[in-house]
Amino acid sequence: MLHLILFGPPGAGKGTQAQLLGTQFGLIHISTGDLLRSELANRTELGLEAKRFMDRGELVPDETVISMIMNRIHQMSETGGVIYDGFPRTIPQAEALDRILKSEHEKISALISLEVPHNELVKRLMLRGETSGRSDDRNISVIENRIKVYQEKTKPLIDYYNQQQKYHTVDGTGTIEQISQRLTNLVKKIKNQN
């Protein structure tokens, strides 16, 4: 089974591209953002707890995210694999995911990083804030903090997966179709190696 992590800073286009790849390769798209927003919409205890962190542009605690992902993985039946969007975000999350997958006799196939310049990220997030209604995409200081948190806490995952020879980069600029084509070409190569 294919297990892909689509990686990159806020605004890199992970959600859009994960959905396209999921459809094309028959992968289940697991988005921690979607899982958290669902909890928020249902006003669950978990959702309200997560909201406090999200409103400040901070990461939701590992334990909360890991239990959501574990529940989702255990719900899966026959599938071509999984594309993780927004998870893992920290080394402890990556280690926990490795343990979960090992218990299912699975492993991460690759981490694919969408590379996008800082100014483009800010522009995309502000535009998304205008069109989506997401409060965390409307405030420039929250956006800058989210990018800073990514640099400090999430970017170290590059070394973690690079040491396992599972780290790949893709140019995340251009049209959705251009980026999608680059990702498709890479995923085909990864799939052939698995």
Q: Of 124, 146, 166, 182, which is the active-site residue?
A: 146
Q: Which of 89, 124, 166, 182 is catalytic?
A: 89
Catalytic residue among 72, 107, 134, 155: 134
Taking the C-alpha atoms of residue 170 and residue 127, their distance in angstroms, rounded to an integer, is 22
Phi, psi (degrees; rounded to nearest 5) at 170 = -140, 135
CB 30 within 8 A of CB 87: yes
d(CA 170, CA 182): 7
Is 89 one of the annotated active-site residues of the chain? yes
Please identify which residue in the block is written with the tokens 């999200």. 54
182 in catalytic set? no
Is 72 part of the annotated catalytic residue set?
no
The reply to whether 138 belongs to the active site is: no
Catalytic residue among 14, 124, 166, 182: 14
124 is catalytic: no
On whether the CB atoms of residues 97 and 153 are closer than 8 A, the answer is no
Known catalytic residues?
A: 14, 89, 128, 134, 146
